[in-house]
Structure 1
Amino acid sequence: FSEQEVKEAIFSLEHNKAPGPDGFPAEFYQVFWETIKAGLMAMFHDFSKGNVSLFSLNFGIITLLPKCQEAIKTYLSAKCELYNFHKSSTSRINKVAKKIIQPTQTAFLPGRYILEGVTILHGTIHEVHQKKLNGDIFKIDFEKAYDKVKWPFLQQTLRMKGFSPLWCNWIQQFVSGGSVAVKVNNNIGRYFQTKKGLCQGDPLSPILFNIVADMLVVFINRAKENGQIQGLIPHLVKDGLSILQYANDTILFLEHNLEQAKNLKIILCAFEKLSGSKINFHKSELFCYGEAKSHFE
């Protein structure tokens, strides 16, 4: 990592955020950059050479936050450490993200915009209505998507995408080498190691999740090539439009065909099993168009 990369990563961190267990917020690194940069860069260089383990640095505190009044369940929000390493790594990965992640994904990628997916979805629904085409649209929500990612699947995906063994090892240390403790009533419990998932609030997590989620697109594209499923509006989109993604929010498009629906279910089940993801059917929806709508009703 160059000094300029590390500096840009540090100065892009937001202000007025709660510090991690070490007590140093982003403002500390920014204000005292000239004083600490030599030691910080030495640590980066040692890490790049494999001489520094992140285990002693990679720890955080989980604060319990009820998301509704009179909650009977508790949801976890983790504050991750190593922002300097993670932010710098994110900047590097973002430079190649558009080459390794399908254009159907529009979240957290430089040069892609939220409205791309919305515009395509609106145009597709308009075309289906206007031409009275038969088709099904599935809105899929993955439950606690970041928390359920399997680390071995992430590593396999990174290798398939062409990441070097060095980068795969770095990312493995980032996501799996840390420890966390739970804070209750201002008391911090014992630290323990997590076994899966990506840390909420970590600048590296969105791009890593997109890389994992992109494998669903790969599965669907292969099924299309094998004639197992067919997307909508093939007269406008080559081989038909089959999927749009915004982070873990996924929309699937399918011809109204029972056999194809079964094949799609197999694909989703396989992706769940391999990646660790779980479809939240309470938040998922099915929309039918044309004759398919009358069959559904």
Structure 2
Amino acid sequence: MALHSLKNEKAPRLDGLTKEFVMRFWPSLKTLIMDVCNEIWRDQKMPYSFKQGKMKLIPKLDMMMEHAFTSYHEVVGMQIYFEKAFDEIQWNFIAVVLKKLGFALKFCHLIYVLAKDSASHVEINRRLSPPFLIECFPRYQCFIC
């Protein structure tokens, strides 16, 4: 279901593997992927590469409109402003919500492991910046479960 929900010709991770590639080779990849998932669950450790994200800067909307006009493409633009997301949500609040929803402690801990020491890159002109850590601000207690 997860594979089918992905957009075609898109690579959701930094590795560049597209939905079509994974689906084509799923019979060969299924056991490997399940083994990795089971190891993560068993050891409660996450490979660093799983904790990396990518942010992509978009040109100002007027540049998009000009591009759409000159290339005869239809464009939909949306601007979303995320102000200090990690400054607004306490990680321990996430743990409380997960527990209230009935998730097991082991699952809550795995979510913490995923968030802890996560990093992101910024893509500019098809090049990635060095990774920078995504951290909880020190004025909040940062613990889960």
Q: Sort the TM-score into its range (normalised by shorter chain).
A: 0.5 to 0.7
Which residue of structure 2 lines up, in the alignment, with residue 167 of structure 1? 107
Question: Does 2:28 correspond to 1:35?
Answer: yes
Greater Cα radius of gyration, structure 1 or 2: 1
TM-score, structure 2 normalization = 0.65
Partner of residue 92, structure 1: none
Q: 2:41 aligns with which of 41, 48, 54?
A: 48
SS of residue paired to 1:46: helix
2:55 maps to 1:62: yes
Give the Cα separation in 2 of the matches to 1:52 and 1:195. Answer: 18
Between the aligned residues of both structures, percent identity stands at: 25
Matches within 5 A, 1:63-142: 63-69=56-62
Q: Tell whether the 8 Å contact from 1:151 to 1:176 is kept in structure 2 after alignment.
A: no
Where do 5+ consecutive residues of structure 1 fail to align? 1-7, 71-142, 197-273, 275-297
Equivalent position of 1:144 in the other structure: 82
- DSSP 3-state at the match of 2:43: coil
Distance 1:173 1:26, change over 3 A: farther
Q: Distance in 2 between matches of 1:145 and 1:186?
A: 25
Shift of 1:51: 5.7
**TM-score, length-normalised on structure 1?**
0.35
> 1:196-207 counterparts in 2 under 5 A?
196=136
Residues 108-257 of structure 1: pairs in structure 2 closer than 5 A:
144=82, 147=85, 148-196=88-136
| Structure with the largest fraction of strand | 1
Q: Distance in 2 between matches of 1:177 and 1:159?
A: 22
> Per the alignment, in what secondary structure is the counterpart of residue 69 of structure 1?
helix
Is the partner of 2:50 in helix, strand or coil?
A: coil
CA distance in 1, matches of 2:83, 2:132: 21
Q: How far did residue 168 of structure 1 move? A: 0.5
The one-letter code matched in structure 2 to 1:50 is D
Displacement of 1:186: 2.8
Cα 1:175/1:26, change in 2 over 3 Å: farther
The letter for the 1-side match of 2:104 is S
Aligned residue-pair number = 118
Relative to structure 1, the CA distance from residue 63 to residue 174 in structure 2 (aligned partners, 3 Å threshold; closer, same or farther) is: same
Task: Output the CA distance in 2 between the equivalents of 1:195 and 1:66.
Answer: 27
